[in-house]
A and B are shown apart, each in its own frame.
Chain A
Amino acid sequence: MEQSNTLLDVKKLEVSYGHVDALKGVDVTVNQGEIVVLIGANGAGKTTLLDTILGINTPRSGSIQYNGTDITGRSADINVREGLTIVPEGRGVFTSMTVTDNLLLGAHHNMHESSDKIERVYQWFPILKERSDQMAGTLSGGERQMLAIGRALMSAPRIILVDEPSIGLAPIIVNNIIEILVNLNKEGYTILLSEQNAYKALKIAHRGYVLETGQVVLSGTAEELLEDPAVKDAYLGA
C-alpha cells in the first residue's frame, strides 16, 4: 500500500431525487495529486456524485470528507471558497456573456488578483485571449470546454471535478482536452473526472471507479481496469 494523502473521501453516499435513488452507497477516495476517473453509462450517477461532492445536491446519508474536514451537506459557495470546483457537464458557459466575464464568474468568491488569474488562464488557453471580448455563444464546442476549464481554474482550486468533458467533441479535440487535464495534473491540480470515453480517460488516470446504477461495481488502478475483462467488454468495446 503506497503512502497516501487523502484529499477527498466519500463514504456510503446515498442521494435520491424523490423516489429515484441515484446513488446507493458510493465509496470513492481521491488522493492529493491524482487523476481519478469515474466510468459509467448514461444515468449511472456520475453527475449526481460530482454535484453532491460540490454541495449542489444534499445527500440522504453518508459522508464526504475534504482535506480532513467533514463537508457533508455544506453549501457550494463555501466549498468553492475552500478549493473545490467543477467543470459542468455540457460545457455550461453563459452564452450571452463575454469570454472575460465568464472567466471572472469563476473568481466570484475571490476577485483578488483576478487579472493575474486571467493571464494565467490565457497562458493555458491562448485561443481564449484572442476571443476575450467575444460572447461565449460564438465559441466552438472545444473552445467552450476550454472556457469552462479556464473558469474553474479562476477559483484557484485544489481539486477539479470534471464532468464528461469529451461529450460531443471531435476525437482530435478530445485528445487536446485530455492533454490539458494531464498538464493541469502535473501542475499539482487533483482531478476527479467522469467519462464515458473510458479508454482515453483510463490511459491518463491513476485510478478509476466503475459506476452502475448508483453503485460502485469495480475499482482499481487504471492499468487493472484497462485489463479487466468486464470493463473491456462493457466500456472499451473490445
Chain B
Amino acid sequence: MPLPMYYFLAVTAIYILLSWSIYLPYRVMHLHFMSVANMTISGYLGAYAALSWGWPFMLVLVVGIVVGAFVGWITSFAIGDAPTFAVVIVGFTYIYISKTVVENTDALGGTLGLFNIPSIHSDPSTSKLLLLIIVYLFVILMGFLIHRFENSRLGRAASAIFVDHQLAKSFGINVKRTGMFLQTWSSAMGGASGVLYAYLMRNLFPDFFTFHLIGIAMTMLFVGGYATMWGGLLAAPLLWGGPLLFPPEIASWRIVIYGTILVVMLVLKPEGLITRPLVYRIESYFRRRRDRRIPS
C-alpha cells in the first residue's frame, strides 16, 4: 500500500474515533474534550509499556482503554451533570496537565517525543495492513455500539437531557448517571485512540495532542452534524483527506481552512451536513421497504 494512502486511512480512523468521543458527551450538551487528554495518557502509557516492558499490542490496547475509562469515570463523579462551561474547563485542564507532564518526563521522551514503538508483525507491510484492519474493526465496533445506544432508552434519555434536563429529570431520568456513562465511554474511546495512534505512527510527539486537535475534531463534528453519529463519520475523511489533495503551499493553511469552513457552516447550517430529521427520513424509508417485504 502506498504510504500516503496508509496515512490517510490511519489518521481518518483516529479522527472518526475522536469526533465520536466528542459527539457522545455532546448528546447531553457536554462539550467534553477530555478524550484528547485520554489519548495522551493512554497513548504514552501504552508506548512506554511496549518499549520498556515488552507488552504485546493487544494487552496495551486493552489497558489503554481501561485506563481511559477509569480516568473518565472518576472525573465524571464531579462533572457528570455539571454545566457545559465547567465540563469544557475540566477537559482543557486535563489536556494542559497531561501535555505538560509528558513534556517534562524524560522517560516519555520529553518534548522530543517517543520513537520506535514496536510494530505488531515482523514484516512491516503486513504489520501496517493488520493494524489498519484492527483499527477499522474497532471503528465498526464503536459505530455499532453507538448506533445501538441511539435507539435505546439511554439514547432517548440523552436526547431529552440535551433539550431540557429539568424536564428530563421529571420523567425519572437520572441526569448525572447518563452524563457519567457518556463521559466514561468517551474517555475509553480516547484511550483506545491514543494507543492505536501510537502504533499506527510508531512515534508520539506531545505537540500533536493539543488544542488544534480539538479544533479539527470539533470542526468534523459540527460540520458533519452533531445531532447524529453519521456527521463525524462523513466529515472526518472529507475534512482530513480534502486538504491532502491541495498543493503543499495551501495545505499548510489547513487550520485556517478548517476554521473558515466551521464558521461558515455554523452560520449557514448550524446543525451540520447530516441532521437528525434527515437520518430519520432515511431510516423510516428503509423501515417501510422492509415492512413491505415482510407482509404481516
Contacts and interface: CB of A to CB of B under 8 A. Distances in A.
B159 interface: yes
B163 interface: yes
Contacts of A85: 172
A92 B156 contact: no
Contact size range, A: 20 to 34
B159 A94 contact: yes
B170 interface: yes
Contacts of A80: 171-172
Contact of A56 (B159, B166, B174, B276): B166
Contacts of B169: 56, 76-77
Given A97-B156, A97-B159, A108-B153, 8 more contacts: A81-B172, A86-B170, A104-B156, A105-B168, A106-B171, A108-B156, A108-B172, A155-B172
Given A97-B156, A108-B153, A88 B172 contact: no
Given A94-B163, A96-B163, A96-B276, A105 B170 contact: no
Interface residues of B, number: 20
B133 to A, nearest CB: 36
Interface of A: 51, 54, 56, 75-81, 85-86, 88, 92, 94, 96-98, 101, 104-109, 111, 133, 135, 151, 155
Nearest to A163: B170
B263 interface: no
Identify whether the interface residues of A are mostly helix, strand, loop, or mixed.
mixed
Contacts of B173: 77, 105, 108
Which 10 pairs, one residue from A and one from B, show the smallest C-beta to C-beta distance?
Answer: A80-B172, A77-B174, A77-B172, A92-B167, A109-B172, A86-B170, A76-B169, A111-B153, A105-B171, A105-B156
Contacts of B280: 98
B171 A108 contact: yes
Given A108-B153, A108-B156, A133-B284, A92 B172 contact: no
A18 to B, nearest CB: 17
Interface of B is mostly: helix
B237 to A, nearest CB: 28
A232 B118 CA distance: 85
A148 to B, nearest CB: 10
Contacts of A135: 277
A44 B101 CA distance: 56
B272 to A, nearest CB: 15
Nearest to A82: B172
A108 B152 CA distance: 10
Given A56-B166, A92-B164, A101 B171 contact: no
A133 B168 CA distance: 21
Nearest to A78: B172
A140 B82 CA distance: 34
A165 to B, nearest CB: 15
B274 interface: no
Contacts of B10: none
B160 interface: yes
